[in-house]
């Protein structure tokens, strides 16, 4: 195929590629070959993949071709997908950004198993910061993962490898995990849609040896170029497991069905109030204000109104994360291989007792109701994603735990409450800043209402499309060369 055609195919998106495969215009093995070639050319500079499963992916693609020939209906027919390296893929280690190899996973995680059932091909596993504890994608073991839009800036994190892979056209879609913003932050940094659905909508069950998942803070969600692609991936992963840590939410319609119609006129609360006291830069305010004007022109009511962020809620999230982190570390051999900062954080995390974590889980409904009292009559909350634009790589380099935590607050002042409350939320691209870095807004829905969230994002996308924008690939290739 000509190079120009290859590029168009690489950026065609999940839904379009699945359609092309079903219509026999392209074969799954052709897609795997295309993306393996792009990975080979781009990964030396971007450092996205911890492992590439080339031979396995080709075998999976051949199996998808057999299933299609047998008449199976596969929503993700033959589409290559990358998986964040904290989510289990059978036969492959989950290194979680560390240098500690606990051996290959015995089974696929629930989300990966469902992706395969829908016809996806798993092409590799992507980098993250150690245990996803920081909202960048850098580690002592695996080095720095770079943003395809600006090699000197972070792709965000902790799902930065997945985001960079999709943004650079190395895969059409990828999975991320989000315990405080780790899907939505890298989506914003890389110009993607990052969706965190309602807690429990996508099971977080891993293989039996890795079943503990941060007291329900952790969510698995898609990173993709368009709303329809994110919706398709989310639908494919949706489903509960018998031994899930948390109960399933009430049933909801498939997001692909929701996208067939525009949302009704909505009441939208716009807020620039951070959860923690950090300054909010003008660069991240501007896209929110511009999107508010766009939404008003579409018939929605947008009013500036702030949620309440009780101190006890902030403390509860911190307690749950620290206690969950301590339990994860307890499973590891050779903890001396962790970064020094992570070793210090592990020691501190052990001070949070299990009873306090249980209290924080039990108190969540009461704390969430209090925090949403002032915006209870709004359908959507709209905020910035981060307090600052994407930072340069090395932002946390050389910092101890306390100083690093203070700097990290600039990344998460709008995104971590929804991991505690479990509400659906997503990051929506809005364009490019003057320096060529992606801009975004953050949308949060009521509990169990992904439908309104996704339909509104699709309406914004229809009026203000962004998927045609691509990073400066030729410049990247010249650096690889």
* Rounded CA separation 303/244 (Å): 38
**Among 139, 158, 371, 427, which one carries the catalytic annotation?**
158
Note the residue count of the chain: 481
129 is a catalytic site residue: no
* Rounded CA separation 223/112 (Å): 14
Question: Which 3 state secondary structure label does DSSP give 404?
Answer: helix
Bridge partners (DSSP) of residue 220 are 177
**Among 84, 179, 203, 371, which one carries the catalytic annotation?**
84
Edge-to-edge strand ranges of the sheet holding 121-126: 49-52, 121-126, 80-84, 173-178, 219-224, 193-196, 425-432, 438-445, 380-383, 267-270, 301-304
**Among 182, 316, 349, 455, which one carries the catalytic annotation?**
182
The pair of three-digit structure tokens given for residue 2, joined into one six-digit string:
């000509």
8 Å CB contact between 36 and 44: no
* Rounded CA separation 463/469 (Å): 15
Phi and psi at 250, nearest 5°, equal -60, 150
371 is a catalytic site residue: no
Strands (E), 208-297: 219-224, 267-270
106 is a catalytic site residue: no
**DSSP per-residue letters across 282-337:** HHHHHHHHHHHHHHHHTT-EEEE-PPP--HHHHHHHHHHHHHHHHHHHHT-S-GGG
**Catalytic residue annotation:** 84, 158, 182
């Amino acid at each position: 195929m000509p190079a120009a055609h290859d590029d168009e195919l690489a950026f065609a998106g999940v839904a379009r590629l699945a359609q092309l495969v079903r219509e026999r215009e392209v074969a799954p093995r052709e897609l795997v070959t295309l993306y393996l070639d792009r990975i080979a050319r781009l990964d030396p500079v971007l450092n996205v993949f911890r492992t590439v499963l080339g031979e396995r992916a080709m075998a999976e693609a051949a199996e998808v071709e057999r299933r299609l020939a047998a008449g199976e209906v596969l929503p993700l027919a033959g589409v290559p997908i990358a998986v964040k390296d904290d989510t289990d893929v059978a036969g492959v280690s989950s290194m979680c950004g560390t240098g500690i190899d606990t051996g290959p996973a015995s089974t696929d995680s629930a989300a990966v198993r469902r992706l395969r059932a829908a016809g996806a091909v798993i092409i590799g596993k992507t980098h993250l910061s150690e245990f996803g504890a920081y909202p960048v994608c850098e580690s002592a073991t695996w080095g720095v993962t770079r943003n395809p839009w600006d090699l000197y800036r972070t792709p965000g994190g902790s799902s930065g490898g997945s985001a960079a892979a999709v943004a650079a056209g190395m895969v059409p879609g990828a999975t991320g995990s989000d315990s405080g913003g780790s899907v939505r932050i890298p989506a914003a940094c890389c110009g993607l849609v990052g969706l965190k659905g309602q807690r429990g909508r996508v099971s977080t069950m891993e293989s039996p040896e890795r079943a503990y998942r941060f007291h329900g803070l952790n969510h698995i969600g898609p990173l993709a170029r368009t709303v329809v692609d994110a919706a398709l991936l989310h639908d494919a992963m949706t489903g509960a497991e018998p031994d899930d840590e948390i109960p399933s939410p009430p049933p909801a319609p498939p997001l692909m069905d929701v996208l067939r119609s525009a949302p009704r006129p909505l009441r939208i609360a716009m807020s620039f109030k951070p959860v923690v006291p950090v300054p909010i830069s003008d660069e991240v305010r501007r896209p929110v204000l511009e999107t508010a004007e766009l939404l008003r022109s579409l018939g929605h009511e947008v009013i500036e109104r702030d949620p309440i962020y009780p101190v006890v809620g902030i403390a509860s999230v911190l307690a749950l994360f620290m206690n969950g982190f301590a339990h994860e570390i307890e499973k590891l051999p050779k903890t001396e291989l962790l970064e020094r900062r992570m070793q210090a954080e592990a020691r501190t995390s052990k001070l949070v007792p299990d009873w306090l974590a249980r209290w924080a889980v039990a108190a969540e409904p009461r704390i969430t109701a209090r925090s949403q009292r002032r915006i209870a009559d709004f359908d959507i909350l709209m905020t910035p994603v981060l307090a600052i634009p994407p930072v340069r790589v090395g932002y946390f380099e050389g910092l101890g735990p306390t100083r690093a935590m203070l700097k990290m607050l600039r990344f998460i002042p709008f995104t971590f409450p929804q991991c505690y409350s479990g509400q659906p939320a997503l990051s929506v691209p809005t364009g490019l800043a003057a320096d060529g870095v992606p801009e975004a807004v953050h949308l949060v829905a009521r509990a169990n209402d992904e439908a309104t969230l996704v339909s509104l994002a699709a309406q914004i996308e229809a009026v203000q499309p962004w998927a045609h924008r691509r990073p400066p690939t030729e410049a990247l290739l010249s650096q690889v060369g």
